[in-house]
Amino acid sequence: MKQLVITLIGTDRPGLVETLSDTVFKHHGNWQASSLSKLAGKFAGIIQIDIKNDDAKALSIALDNISELDVLITDAPHQSEPDSTTHSLTVTGNDRPGIIQEVTREIAKFGININNLESTAQSAANSGGVIFMADFDLDIANTTSLDDLGEALEGLSDDLIVEFDVNDIH
C-alpha cells in the first residue's frame, strides 16, 4: 500500500469533485483527506489517497485524462508522529500587504509546521475598511510555549488579534 498526495488545478465546473471521487474509487484508491477550493474561477485541490502499488499507475493515467485539469501526483511515505500537538490559531486584523509573510515568519522562528492555512479579506461592516482573517492548524512542539508564540505574533501590529484554540485538535 502506498500513499499519494495529488495536487489538482483546472477550470471549475459542476460535477468535477464527483468525477475525481469516482475515478479514485474505480481505481481502488481510498480517499483519506482533501482540501478543495474554488479560487478566482479555478478549481484547486489537494487529495491524500491510499492505494495498492499495482493500482497507482492506472489511477495516474485516469486522472491525467480528466479534461481541463492539471494533475501532479507525489508519493508520500507514511511518517512517524512527532512529539507535538496540533493547535488552531486565528489571526485577525486590518488588511494590509505583508500580514501572511510576517505571521509565517514568526511561526517559522519557533520551528512550527503549518498543516493548514485558510485566509480571507472582507469588508468590515461598520468601518468601511477591510478585515483580514487567517486560520492556521499548527504542529507545535510540546516544549514550545503558546504564550511566547502569542506574544511574538501580537507584537507584529497593534491591531492584530491572536487566538489559540485551547483544545488541541489532533
pLDDT tens figures, 20-58: 999 999 999 999 999 999 988 899 999 999 999 999 999
Residue 170 is predicted with a pLDDT of 47
According to CATH, the topology of domain 84-164 is Alpha-Beta Plaits (3.30.70)
Reduce the DSSP state of residue 106 to 3 states and report it. helix
CB distance 4 to 73 below 8 Å = yes
Q: How far apart are CA 162 and CA 150, in angstroms?
A: 6
CATH number of 2-75: 3.30.70.260
CB count within 10 Å of CB 107 equals 21
Domain extent listing, the chain: 2-75, 84-164
Asked if pLDDT for residue 18 goes beyond 90, the answer is yes
Q: What is the pLDDT of residues 86-120, one digit of tens each?
A: 899 999 999 999 999 999 999 999 999 999 999 99
Partners of residue 141 on adjacent β-strands: 84
Q: Is residue 149 exposed (0-12), middle (13-18) or buried (19+ Cβ within 10 Å)?
A: buried
Domain pair 2-75 / 84-164, same fold: yes
